[in-house]
Amino acid sequence: MIDVSHKSNTLRYARAEGLLTATAGIIERVRQGTVPKGDVLAVARAMGISAGKRCADWMVFCHNIPLDWIDLRFEVGDTRITVIAEARTLWKTGVEMEVLTAVSNALLNMYDMLKPLTDELEIGPIRVVEKRGGKSDPAS
């Protein structure tokens, strides 16, 4: 783990996103709420938030940081669902790993809930699309 004790707390923000691609019929079942395992988006949102809050349990070098806010939302298209996670903290390190973990876990839960219906599921790419705060953001 990197020693961050010398760093000052600054407002940190990150946003990540990832995709789940499936057939139009599967995406329509998600939209209509007719997936046998339940409400795919509600479960994915809850599990993604939970995973983001526990990111340090998954990554050996990740600091256990106090999240001030984390949320997930979805953009549902014809053959894909985009998962978007955002987080903020007032602390010494950024929240990129937390939002990446949130998106990844949400996508894995969606995959698990949909796999009994089809073999045509794909996850990715997953990426950080924005981050603010710390030395890379002099305005913070």
Query: Helix, strand or coil for residue 133?
Result: coil
What secondary structure does DSSP assign to 114-137, as a single string?
HTTT-S--EEEEEEEEEEE-STT-
Among 51, 68, 53, CA closest to 106: 51
Torsion-angle region of residue 124: left (phi > 0), alpha (psi -120 to 50) or beta?
left
Read off the tokens for 118.
């089809």
Catalytic residue among 68, 71, 112, 137: 112
Q: Active-site residue 112, yes or no?
A: yes
In whole angstroms, what is the distance from residue 104 CA to residue 125 CA? 10
Q: Which residues are catalytic?
A: 112
